[in-house]
Each structure stands twice: as structure tokens, then as C-alpha cells.
Amino acid sequence: MSKPEFTPGEWTMSPPIEHERVGVLSSNGIWVAEAIGCQPGGREQEIANARLLAASKELYEALKGMIECAGEEYSGSRYVEAARAALAKVTGE
């Protein structure tokens, strides 16, 4: 599985200022992603989407670690297979 080249640094959600876009910033101030909420979710959905995006690098690393720890003993587990499928989406495989 290839390692994706993410924007470096820790990712955090931008402050949700009213009537401003909300998204994800890297620790060096690079705008990584903008979160968009659709009606009826609106602003609350934008904020929830931004939080999920901000956690995505940590989730990626956690899934990789889970698969490594699971080893062959749990390789057929639906959770391990779901983790592998999610990582494949990230790497484009």
C-alpha cells in the first residue's frame, strides 16, 4: 500500500465564525479543505464535516496501526476488512 503525501503538519478545524467558511487548516496555515453542509444540515453539518476532515490523518494512522496489530489472526474480520477498504480509498488502490 503506497503512502499518500498529505499536507504536512497537524490539521485542525478553522474557527467556526458566523457567516464565514469553515474548513481544515494545517499547522503552517495552509488551507487543506473547505467543509460544506447541505440543507437541512446547514451550518451544523459544515462544522461536523470539518471536524471529521481535521481528524482524517489521525484516523488514517489509527487504521494502519489496527491492521498491523490485527495480523493474520483477524485478517478476515469485517472490521479489519472495512479498515483495509477505507485505506484503499485513501491511497487510490
Asked if pLDDT for residue 2 goes beyond 70, the answer is no
Chain mean pLDDT for the chain: 86
Q: Are 64 and 87 in contact (CB under 8 A)?
A: yes
Query: In Å, what is the CA distance from 60 to each residue of 16, 33, 40, 65?
Result: 24, 16, 29, 9
Are 50 and 14 contacting, i.e. CB atoms less than 8 angstroms apart? yes
| 25 and 66 share one domain | no
Give the C-alpha separation, 93 to 90, whole Å. 8
Same domain, 4 and 37: yes
C-alpha cell at 40: 437541512
What is the structure's pLDDT at 59? 93
How many domains does the chain contain in total? 2
Span of 11-15, 36-40, 44-48 with lowest mean pLDDT: 36-40
- Residues 37, 24 within the same domain: yes
What average pLDDT does the segment 37-60 reach? 84
